[in-house]
Amino acid sequence: MRQMEFKMERMGLLEVGEVLPVKEFALPNSYYYVLGRAYAMSGNYSTLERLSSTEGKVVDVKNTDRGYYVTVEFDE
């Protein structure tokens, strides 16, 4: 299992246990991922860290002093 963290702009969009699709977008030297219908976005990942799964399960939603974050688990 692999876990990734996604930044969300507001609470109440996702719940723990939801299974959502993930879309991959390419930058010149890295990749980033968008969760569901643009609920949250990941940071940038190198080619070696590239995600091969197309959907993941929400395992944690938290509110920190830096904003709202979602942890998603993938079968990898």
pLDDT in tens, 3-59: 999 999 988 889 999 999 999 999 999 999 999 999 999 999 999 999 999 999 999
Structure tokens at 69: 């974050």
Q: How far apart are CA 37 and CA 30, in angstroms?
A: 21
What region, left, alpha or beta, does residue 36 occupy, with left being phi > 0 and alpha being psi -120 to 50 degrees?
Answer: left
Model pLDDT, residue 13: 87
pTM of the model: 0.89
Q: Which residue has the tokens 């609470």?
A: 11
Q: Which amino acid is at 45?
A: Y
Say how far apart CA 34 and CA 30 lie, in whole Å: 14
CA distance 68 to 48: 27
Domains of the chain by residue range? 2-74
